[in-house]
């Protein structure tokens, strides 16, 4: 099978980027021919080539809405697909999903779109939800299959009349095993919290910092891994709250599994989500998780079992969850073990890859 993957951004490595690279590599190892098309030339391209994957840069595919560039991007995508002659095209991220489906269908190629969280999800402005909901309703007609990474997103699509029960299917994200999983649980007095996320919407490091400043227990330290446009403001806020000496800003890192293995609690505070890969990484590492109850998060974190889910905007709820886990080594260990079991039972990469490759074959059989 010859597969072309398409994603919009090359300048960052986010959840969708990691998912696509894992999937492309897994498909390649399974014996399929794989090419990747991505907007621009950045860290994504380097990572793909380091993995031995064929990756082409697209000059005009950009995240921002730009009618002139978007028209050029459509024809650029169409030309590349015509040249590569894939059996099917698998699209990731909103802009690539729109232009790529149009380009694929104009050539009679099967098109599969994965929604890594809808642009019309809860937490997004009503105006933006209205616009993207209607765009995705139209684009569903150009989709041979739509995959959502959470059942939350599938139900959101069906409620919005984006596709139907047969077109929209849920395949939860999965993560490969790594060798740096936790091998024990420390009972140190200094509790190490970690959040791995870019400093931009929908992530909300500000909310976490404000809650931590009000936690009565002070035997904690926080590592914030990631970069982005709101990083400078977060540094300033930590200083204003008087907790800067307890917060480490590590920037973008390529050794996240090792950093997770040295931590005690994983936190992810967001205004909206799809199905966060970073939570899966934390579960894989045996960490208790505190996360915002948005998107498909509750499909990963069973409240009170392998962590705590906190309602968006509930500062006291976040303070309470942080306090419980900071104070109890026994609870951290219990929830961490439970999370690791949930990961290995339901969210491994091999489980996800097997389901997606079966979808590819079904789509090809249907469209012959």
User: Domain map of the chain by residue range?
Assistant: 2-174+348-367, 191-346
Taking residues 74-97, report their average pLDDT.
Answer: 97
Confidence (pLDDT) at 134: 97
What CATH class has 2-174+348-367? alpha beta
Q: Is the pLDDT of residue 186 over 80?
A: no
Taking residues 111-119, report their average pLDDT.
Answer: 96
Q: Is the pLDDT of residue 111 over 70?
A: yes
pLDDT in tens, 332-350: 999 999 999 999 999 999 9
- Rounded CA separation 238/195 (Å): 15
pLDDT in tens, 271-280: 999 999 999 9
Closest CA to 92 of 11, 14, 173, 7: 7
CATH H-level, domain 191-346: superfamily:
Glycogen Phosphorylase B; (3.40.50.2000)
What is the chain's mean pLDDT, rounded? 95
DSSP class per residue in 255-304: -HHHHHHT-SEEEE-BS--SS-HHHHHHHHTT-EEEEES-TTHHHH--BT
Q: Is the pLDDT of residue 189 over 90?
A: no
Confidence (pLDDT) at 183: 46
pLDDT in tens, 209-224: 999 999 999 999 999 9
């Amino acid at each position: 099978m010859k597969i072309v993957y398409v994603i919009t951004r090359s300048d960052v490595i986010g959840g969708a980027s990691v998912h696509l690279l894992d999937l492309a590599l897994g498909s390649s190892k399974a014996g399929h021919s794989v090419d990747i098309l991505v907007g621009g030339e950045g860290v994504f391209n380097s990572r793909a080539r380091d993995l031995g994957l064929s990756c082409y840069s697209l000059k005009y595919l950009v995240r921002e809405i730009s009618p002139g560039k978007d028209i050029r991007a459509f024809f650029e995508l169409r030309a590349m697909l015509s040249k590569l002659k894939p059996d099917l095209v698998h699209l990731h991220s909103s802009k690539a999903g729109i232009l790529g489906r149009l380009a694929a269908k104009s050539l009679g190629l099967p098109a599969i779109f994965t929604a890594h969280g809808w642009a019309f999800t809860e937490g997004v402005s009503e105006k933006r939800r209205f616009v993207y909901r209607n765009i995705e309703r139209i684009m569903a007609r150009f989709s041979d299959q739509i995959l959502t990474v959470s059942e939350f997103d599938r139900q959101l699509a069906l409620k919005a009349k984006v596709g139907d029960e047969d077109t929209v299917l849920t395949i939860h994200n999965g993560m490969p095993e790594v060798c740096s999983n936790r091998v024990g649980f420390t009972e140190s007095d200094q509790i190490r919290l970690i959040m791995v996320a870019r400093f931009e919407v929908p992530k909300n490091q500000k909310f976490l910092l404000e809650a931590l400043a009000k936690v009565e227990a002070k035997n904690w330290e926080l590592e914030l891994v990631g970069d982005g446009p709101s990083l400078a403001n977060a540094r300033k806020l930590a200083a204003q709250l008087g907790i800067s000496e307890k917060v480490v800003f590590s920037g973008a890192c390529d050794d996240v599994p090792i950093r997770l293995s040295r931590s005690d609690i994983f936190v992810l505070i967001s205004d909206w989500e799809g199905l966060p890969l970073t939570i899966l990484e934390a579960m894989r590492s045996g960490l208790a998780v505190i996360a915002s109850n948005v998107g498909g998060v509750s499909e990963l974190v069973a409240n009170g079992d392998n962590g705590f889910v906190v309602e968006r905007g509930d500062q006291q709820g976040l303070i309470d969850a942080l306090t419980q886990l900071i104070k109890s080594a026994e609870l951290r260990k219990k929830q961490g073990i439970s999370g690791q079991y949930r990961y290995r039972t339901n969210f491994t990469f091999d489980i996800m890859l097997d389901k997606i490759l079966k979808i590819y074959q079904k789509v090809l059989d249907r469209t012959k």
